[in-house]
Amino acid sequence: MKIHPAYEMLRPDKNFPNVWCPGCGHGIVQGAIIRAVQKLGLDRDEMAMVSGIGCSSRMPVYCDFNSLHTAHGRAIAFATGVKLHNPKLHVIVITGDGDALAIGGNHFIHAARRNVEMTVVLMNNMIYGMTGGQYSPTTPIGKRASTAPYGTAERDFDPCSLAKAAGAVFAARGTVYNAAELEKLITQALAKKGFALVEAVSPCPTLYGRLNREGNAVKMMQWQKENTVNVKAAEKLPPEKVRGKIVTGVFHDAETPGYTEIYDRVIAKARGA
């Protein structure tokens, strides 16, 4: 029997089947993360996967890493403690649009500002899945949710712009339709020494799709395929041709010393003083 290449990084006992609905994109994101870790040859014992609460945040339980499933919104705060105490660990934060940008928004911007070395994989399905389809900070204005039966009145966040403005060294967006590109972006992010964000646009056919009549999982995947524009192509297009599309690729890539590196200098100064 041929074993799936990702199998060695999973925890098959008891935890499967996973909580994700048929057609959910989160499993594809998990596959992309595992392939990126394998490609970089990272030691599982040095991987720390930290998450908050929500559909996406169940991922650490399934991965055979050091895993820490924390409270709603607080993954990045916990991850900061993990990284600062043991800088050898490669910290991956698994989060969703509600977890990272609503309840955890403050931690998100401040960890980016401090440039704490961590890769944040933000699965953006534009809805709260686990609690049954309430609108999130990335639900586009006018779209329906269980708490927005007439469409939301709120504007949405662009997580990549937010991360860049707050001081992250890397901000990129991919889709689960283009899993190869997503894997590449996560690989790039994992190699960064600083706060790196990868936003993974992931369909939620069960709630977002149904409430907004966007069809089944296949139709939502088809929509991703047909409505994705690479950032380089988008730069050459007039704004009206980009509006409503998913722009993918690397938006920001900088080199700035990470927090633990700078903190080592603080320690040296304190000891010299």
* Residues forming the site for another protein (CB under 8 A): 11, 14-15, 44-46, 48, 50, 60-61, 64-71, 74, 77-82, 84-86, 88-89, 106-107, 110, 263, 266-267, 269-271
Comparing CB distances to another protein, the nearer of 68 and 234 is 68
**Contact yes or no for 266/257 (Cβ under 8 A):** no
The amino acid at residue 99 is: D
Q: Which residue has the tokens 């339980």?
A: 61
**Contact yes or no for 10/63 (Cβ under 8 A):** yes
Q: How far apart are CA 261 and CA 114, in angstroms?
A: 11
For residue 73, the minimal CB distance to another protein (Å) is 8
For residue 25, the minimal CB distance to another protein (Å) is 22
Comparing CB distances to another protein, the nearer of 37 and 89 is 89
For residue 21, the minimal CB distance to another protein (Å) is 18
The amino acid at residue 131 is: T
Comparing CB distances to another protein, the nearer of 50 and 196 is 50
Comparing CB distances to another protein, the nearer of 165 and 179 is 165
Q: Cβ–Cβ contacts within 10 Å for residue 273, how many?
A: 5
For residue 48, the minimal CB distance to another protein (Å) is 6
Comparing CB distances to another protein, the nearer of 52 and 203 is 52
Going by C-alpha positions, the residue among 191, 139, 199 that lies closest to residue 174 is 199
For residue 110, the minimal CB distance to another protein (Å) is 4
What are the beta bridge partners of residue 212?
none
227's tokens: 């409505």
Comparing CB distances to another protein, the nearer of 66 and 115 is 66
* Class of residue 252 by CB neighbours under 10 A (exposed 0-12, middle 13-18, buried 19+): middle
Q: Cβ–Cβ contacts within 10 Å for residue 232, how many?
A: 10
For 248, the 3-state DSSP assignment is strand
Comparing CB distances to another protein, the nearer of 153 and 267 is 267
For residue 214, the minimal CB distance to another protein (Å) is 31
For residue 159, the minimal CB distance to another protein (Å) is 18
**252 alpha-carbon distance from chain centroid:** 15
What are the beta bridge partners of residue 197?
120, 171
